[in-house]
Amino acid sequence: MARIDSSLPDLSDLDGLACRDSPIHRLDPRIKLLTTLLFIVCVVSFDKHQLSALLPFAAYPVVLLILARLPPAWILRKLLLAVPFALCVGIFNPLFDRTTLLHIGSLEISGGWVSFASIMLRFALTVSAALILVASTGFDALCLALARLGVPRPFVVQLLLLYRYLFVLVDEALRLSRARAQRSFAGRGMELTVVASLLAQLLLRTLDRAQRIYLAMQCRGFDGEVRLLRRLRIGASDVLFLTGWTAILLALRFLAPAPTLGQAIGRLLPS
Count of alpha carbons within 13 angstroms of residue 86, beta-carbon side: 18
Which range scores top for mean pLDDT: 72-76, 128-132, 218-222, 226-230?
Answer: 128-132
Summarize pLDDT for 47-101 with one digit per residue, the tens. 887 888 888 999 999 999 999 999 998 888 888 888 888 888 888 877 777 777 6
Residues contacting 110, CB < 8 A, separation 6+ = 94, 97, 98, 99, 100, 101
Residue 225's nearest CA partner among 162, 148, 138 is: 148
Q: Which pLDDT belongs to residue 241?
A: 95
Summarize pLDDT for 130-185 with one digit per residue, the tens. 999 999 988 888 888 888 888 888 888 888 888 877 777 777 777 777 777 777 65
261 occurs within a structural domain: no
Q: Which pLDDT belongs to residue 266?
A: 46
Q: Which pLDDT belongs to residue 229?
A: 61
pLDDT at 32 over 90: yes
269 occurs within a structural domain: no
63 occurs within a structural domain: yes
Q: How far apart are CA 114 and CA 90, in angstroms?
A: 10
Q: Which pLDDT belongs to residue 149?
A: 87
Residue 28's nearest CA partner among 248, 241, 224, 225 is: 241
266 occurs within a structural domain: no
271 occurs within a structural domain: no
Q: Regarding predicted confidence, which is higher, 110 or 30?
A: 30
Summarize pLDDT for 181-199 with one digit per residue, the tens. 777 655 555 567 767 777 7
φ/ψ bin of 70: left (φ > 0), alpha (ψ from -120 to 50), beta (otherwise): beta
Average pLDDT of the segment spanning 34-58 = 89
256 occurs within a structural domain: no
Sign (positive or negative) of CA dihedral 188, 191, 194, 200:
positive
Asked whether 180 and 198 are in contact (CB, 8 A), the reply is yes
pLDDT category at 269 given cuts 50, 70, 90 is: very low
Number of other CB atoms surrounding residue 12 within 10 Å: 11
- Alpha-carbon Rg of the chain, whole angstroms? 23
262 occurs within a structural domain: no
Mean pLDDT of the residues in the chain: 80
Total structural domains in the chain? 1
259 occurs within a structural domain: no
Q: Which domain holds residue 152?
A: 2-251
Q: Which pLDDT belongs to residue 191?
A: 66
* DSSP states of the chain: -HHHHHHHHHHHHHHHHHTS-STTTTS-HHHHHHHHHHHHHHHHTS-TT--GGGGGGGHHHHHHHHHTT--HHHHHHHHHHHHHHHHHHHTTHHHH---EEEEETTEEEEHHHHHHHHHHHHHHHHHHHHHHHHHHH-HHHHHHHHHHTT--HHHHHHHHHHHHHHHHHHHHHHHHHHHHHHH-TT-----HHHHHHHHHHHHHHHHHHHHHHHHHHHHTT--S----SSPP---HHHHHHHHHHHHHHHHHHHT-HHHHHHHHHHHHS--
Quick one: how far is CA 242 from the chain centroid?
A: 20
